[in-house]
Amino acid sequence: MLTILGKAPSGRGFCDRLGRRDFLTVGGMALGGLALPEVLRAESEPGTSRSHKAIINIFLPGGPPHLDMWDLKPNAPAEIRGEFEPIKTNVPGIEICELFPRIAAMMDKFAIIRSISDSDGGHEAYQCMTGRRKNEQPPPGGWPAMGAWFSKVKGQIDPAVPAHLSLMYKCGNAPWGDPADGGFLGMAHSPFKLVGGRGSSMKSDGMTLQGITLDRLQDRTQLRSSLDRFRREADTKGMMSGLDTFSQQAMGILTSSKLADALDLSKEDPDTLARYGVDDPEFERDGAPRMVRNFCIARRLVEAGARVVSMNFTRWDWHGPDGKNFVQARKDFPLLDAGLSTLVSELHERGMDRDVSIVCWGEFGRTPKINSTAGRDHWPAANAAILAGGGMRTGQVIGATNKYAEHPVDRPVKFQEIFATLYAKAGINLSSVREFDLRGRPQYLVDAGIEPIRELL
């Protein structure tokens, strides 16, 4: 991995006393004959589409409480309904948690799925990244991430911006920060990783390009000097042997300012940033930090040419004595409300709402009954998601759970159906895309019989 150092900002930094921009990683295994050259090789093949449909995949690690957010049960007993009240939205008949007033005011631009029925139950991002259950036998090479399919089928919009990007921070619970990879499609389609983890792991993830800051990327003399130093160091370690022309083109991506500019929030309108809120770079225990402005960075990356951007946001595992459900919710619900509502508003304001789809979800839901530590335990029997953009039919709720939000009773939805919908709205034909795994067996985007959610089309 190659990391570009940024200026140390005034004010608070990461846990290792480095600022947010000090470690903006540009690339996952970008050099040494690895992923990025192969991405470019794939991009050079004929037939690559240039349509700029895109997806922003927002993962809430830990299992967000569905019945405290999108599926409140105000008539249930106190030990089930919890502390929050539902509020009306701008769509008659739809109510959500009182701590999401900004989303409520623009509910016509969102769709809520209250009846996800097949959560795997493990504490990991895998199902939200691939659509597949981790406990099912994968094909040889493994299942590709959603972004890997887009990288393979659609290719790059711009040679300076990889199609598949990750803003997934490495977490203490490693599966919460795993954006999945290229699977049987190959390393070339793995995500280009833009952020690292807490402390020293951010430095040890890969190689560092010293002496060049984001705002000096256009200083070609300084850049050339830094690249020369990097090449000499890499040469002594035998890392540059065997690089072909695609590797040289890979270096071209790193010397372009386009990706760095998208990551550089100093180039964003301050009034726009204020709408998103203020970042908190401290990692939430074994989860991700509260980097609410990454919602803005995700939009900027799509504008720069990304097709799929995945991100994780804070930590939602609140059922133990370390974090009471309702205390944590009062911290994080308003941040999610600000980040998600502003992102969706910006897509509409910029005319991107028909091209860019957003999905926001976690690995499972939470128990209806509140436990003895004022938390809700793991509950894969019911889960929820909120979607926006992509030209989807919004302003609706799909599915319903029973009176205690224990399990779906109307329109149960599978993860793969949501993936099929996102693929379809991005212009990928589910029936025509076929790739072969490492044993030569044909594989498809979703399993046979899985269709997009008709209510959203």
Token digits for 171? Answer: 């977490």
> DSSP labels for 68-79?
HHT---TTS-HH
**Pairwise CA distance, residues 437 & 450, whole Å:** 20
For 164-170, what is the mean pLDDT? 95
Q: What CATH number is given to the structural domain containing 283?
A: 3.40.720
Note the pLDDT tens digit of each residue in 190-222: 998 888 887 533 333 333 333 444 344 445 555
For 154-163, what is the mean pLDDT? 89
Q: Please count the structural domains in the chain.
A: 1
201: left (phi over 0), alpha (psi -120 to 50) or beta: alpha
pLDDT top residue among 451 and 260 = 451
Asked if the model's pLDDT at residue 189 lies above 80, the reply is yes
pLDDT top residue among 135 and 271 = 271
For 332-342, what is the mean pLDDT? 98
pTM of the model: 0.83
For helices 325-349 and 294-304, angle between their N-to-C axes, nearest 10 degrees: 30
pLDDT top residue among 370 and 257 = 370
Asked if the model's pLDDT at residue 182 lies above 80, the reply is yes
Most confident of 120-134, 156-170, 255-269: 120-134
Asked if the model's pLDDT at residue 22 lies above 50, the reply is no
Report the run of H or E that residue 340 belongs to, with start and end. Answer: helix 325-349
Instruction: Identify the pLDDT of residue 413.
Output: 98
26: left (phi over 0), alpha (psi -120 to 50) or beta: beta
Asked if the model's pLDDT at residue 79 lies above 80, the reply is yes
For 251-264, what is the mean pLDDT? 73
User: What type of residue sits at position 82?
Assistant: G
Instruction: Identify the pLDDT of residue 231.
Output: 57
Buried b (16+ CB within 10 A) or exposed e, 205-215: bbbbbeebbbb
**Pairwise CA distance, residues 56 & 311, whole Å:** 8
Candidates 37, 64, 40, 10; CA nearest to 313 is 64
Contact 307, 147 (CB under 8 A): yes
Structural domain containing residue 259: 2-456
Q: How confident is the model at residue 243 (pLDDT cuts 50, 70, 90)?
A: very low
Burial of 229 (0-12, 13-18, 19+ CB in 10 A): middle
Calculate the alpha carbon distances from 48 to 158, 204, 356, 421 in Å. Answer: 12, 35, 19, 22
Looking up tokens 């300012």 gives 257
Least confident of 48-57, 108-117, 132-141, 316-325: 48-57
Note the pLDDT tens digit of each residue in 92-141: 999 999 999 999 999 999 999 999 999 999 999 999 999 999 988 999 99
Token digits for 289? Answer: 């930090």
Note the pLDDT tens digit of each residue in 379-435: 999 999 999 999 999 999 999 999 999 999 999 999 999 999 999 999 999 999 999
**Pairwise CA distance, residues 21 & 25, whole Å:** 9
Give the three-state DSSP class for 282.
strand
Candidates 63, 103, 67; CA nearest to 336 is 103
Instruction: Provide the pairing of β-strand 356-361 with 24-25.
Output: unpaired
What share of the chain in percent tops pLDDT 90? 69
For 269-294, what is the mean pLDDT? 96
